[in-house]
Amino acid sequence: MGLPALEFSDSFLDSPDFRERLKCHEIELDRTNKFIKELIKDGNMLISALKNLSAAVQKFSQSLQDFQFECIGDAETDDEINIAQSFKEFSQLLNTVEEERRRLIQNADDVLITPLEKFRKEQIGAAKEGKKKFDKETEKYYTVLEKHLSLSSRKKESLLQEADTQINKERQIFYDASLEYVFKIQEVQERKKFEFVEPLLAFLQGLFTFYHEGYELAHEFEPYKQQLQFNLQNTRNNFESTRQEVENLMRRIRSAEQDFKAPGQWTMEGFLYVQEKRPLGCTWSRHYCMYEKGTKMFTMSNSEFKSGGKQVLNMFKLKSCIRRRTDSIDKRFCFDIEVVERHGIITLQALSESNRRLWMEAMDGKEPVRATTHLKLDSALGLINICINTMGLYRIGGVNSKVQRLMTSVFAPADMDLDPDTWDNKTITSGLKNYLRCLAEPLMTYRLHKDFIMAVKSDDQNYRVCAVHALVHKLPEKNKEMLDILIKHLHVVSTHNQKNLMTVSNLGVIFGPTLMLYPSVEPGWLQATYDGKTGLIPDNYVAYF
């Protein structure tokens, strides 16, 4: 099993799994560093103590035999296999040379000790410095992030913008340190394949020269030496040819958007702050969270990167997700979820507005009902009425990205302007349908669902109108007001069906399931809706209100 791969994109997530893979590479570098020190020590003994030459060579040979050369990835190329096997070949050859003991070693320091020491200090040393910088920036960034997220949303906008600018700057510094550290680790691992082995190869070649009977041994070694040189040259060439591509990839990753969904097994994953209630208030703790949309499983793990620490996973089945109103909590970027395993809501805080949007989209999150929403609805319907004769009104959907942008604007704290030059008719109609689907509860409520179904299934026109009229007046006042605005508008739309083709039946198919949604769909009510018998849009809608 080789070393796990390190991806630049993982630097943005900074997940516990990414930290574990970094740790494997750090352990390997420490092991290599210790081995190089031991190898240099053994080489110096070989050079300076001719009387102890035999013992020194045997120890040196045994060190080579015991060392396991590791490469990144599970599958190894022929070059990597030969390079990894080279130490064992060297060890076997040294044992043979020891039988023909010779004490003439010249230039061994230049061809063996200096390159290894240079590699250890310049390459492995640089990787250690990168780790120090990475650890420092990690601690600094998460400290600043926690302070940033603790800012009250009631602060002045200028102060919040300044804080956002500062956290973006600190985040970029942290990402740069992480990317550079990953790049340096990969570079050292690749350089190790040739800069580590080449000095040993040169040392052995020099040793043959000074052995009285070394020629025969060198002659026997020649085929393997040539193959190894070929493998090393291939590795070096591959390194030189791919290094520029890797640097370009690193630059692209660095310049990419900071809030994005990286490919992976989870629909969404990343850090979230979880509100934990205490007897004297509440605290916010950071957790690494994963969500799988297919199974609706939400997983939280502890976020501490402690050596030898065991990851504690808490798994929940998601019931609902609703964005938290800004004026209802003294934190930014919050949203609430309900899970099967717990009573009540769990309040979560995302890292930014765009990050919250990604979590909400993954969890099919809904928007809270705002007191001023019916005012914006009335404004939107006024724009739709201007284009009321458009063929296929409400049937042709708008561009999804524009619809999402409209929804974000509608629920923004600031007032919005529904400018027809900015928002086309299809975007507004799609936004209206999307808004009704995203309500925490349908306009006609779950409580009165069965009563409405029984009423609209009746074949008696007079009874149906009277029953629906009574039920409408049982609705909460806000629901009734919004339903009044909507049904009035749909009635007007249906009167222009000769041009827009939006008959009562067609409008029932579009809006019936949304207005009369129920968590557990009962047989019959959908069919009644599709048959146009819901009776929600009569010729005289005033009969209901």
Rounded to the nearest 10 degrees, what angle do helices 214-255 and 78-99 cross at?
150
Q: Which residue type occupies 161?
A: Q
Give the separation between CA 428 and CA 13, rounded to whole angstroms. Answer: 35
Residue 305 has pLDDT above 90, yes or no: no
Residue 292 has pLDDT above 90, yes or no: yes
Is residue 313 within 8 Å of 301, Cβ to Cβ? yes
Determine the pLDDT at residue 85. 79
Please, what is the Cα angle at 119 between 247 and 69, to 5 degrees? 85
Residue-wise pLDDT tens digits, 175-214: 888 898 889 888 888 888 888 889 988 888 877 777 677 7
Query: Residue 316 — pLDDT band, cuts 50, 70, 90?
Result: very high
Residue-wise pLDDT tens digits, 60-72: 888 888 888 777 7
Determine the pLDDT at residue 371. 46
Give the separation between CA 459 and CA 462, rounded to whole angstroms. Answer: 9
Residue-wise pLDDT tens digits, 221-275: 888 888 888 988 888 888 887 888 888 878 877 765 555 555 667 889 999 999 9
Q: What is the mean pLDDT of residues 471-494?
A: 84
Q: What CATH topology corresponds to 10-255? A: Substrate Binding Domain Of Dnak; Chain:A; Domain 2 (1.20.1270)
Question: Which residue carries 């990690």 as its tokens?
Answer: 138
Give the separation between CA 8 and CA 14, rounded to whole angstroms. Answer: 10
**214: its two tokens:** 């070394």
Residue-wise pLDDT tens digits, 93-147: 888 877 776 666 777 888 888 899 989 888 888 888 888 898 898 888 888 888 8
Select the more confidently predicted residue: 309 or 321: 321
Is residue 276 within 8 Å of 282, Cβ to Cβ? yes
Determine the pLDDT at residue 272. 94
Select the more confidently predicted residue: 263 or 502: 502
What percentage of the chain has pLDDT greater than the value 90? 9
Determine the pLDDT at residue 383. 61
**165: its two tokens:** 């600018």
Tell me how far CA of residue 38 lies from CA of 45, 96, 114, 119, in angstroms.
11, 22, 14, 14
Give the separation between CA 334 and CA 359, rounded to whole angstroms. Answer: 11
Partners of 297 in the β-ladder: 292, 317
**Cα-Cα-Cα-Cα dihedral of 170, 171, 172, 178, to 10°?**
110
Q: What is the mean pLDDT of residues 356-368?
A: 87
Select the more confidently predicted residue: 409 or 458: 458
Residues with Cβ within 8 Å of residue 113, at least 6 apart in sequence: 40, 43, 44, 47
Domain boundaries, the chain: 10-255, 268-362, 373-543
Give the separation between CA 210 and CA 294, rounded to whole angstroms. Answer: 70
Give the separation between CA 503 and CA 509, rounded to whole angstroms. Answer: 10
Determine the pLDDT at residue 296. 92
**414: its two tokens:** 């600031």
Domain 268-362, CATH among 3.40.50.2000, 2.30.29.30, 3.30.450.20, 3.40.1390.30: 2.30.29.30
Residue 451 has pLDDT above 60, yes or no: yes
Q: What CATH topology corresponds to 373-543? A: Phosphatidylinositol 3-kinase; Chain A (1.10.555)
Q: What is the DSSP letter of 344?
A: S
Determine the pLDDT at residue 521. 47
Select the more confidently predicted residue: 383 or 367: 367
Question: Which residue carries 């990402």 as its tokens?
Answer: 175
Select the more confidently predicted residue: 30 or 47: 30
Is residue 430 within 8 Å of 397, Cβ to Cβ? yes
Same fold, 268-362 and 373-543: no
**Average pLDDT of the chain, as a whole number:** 80
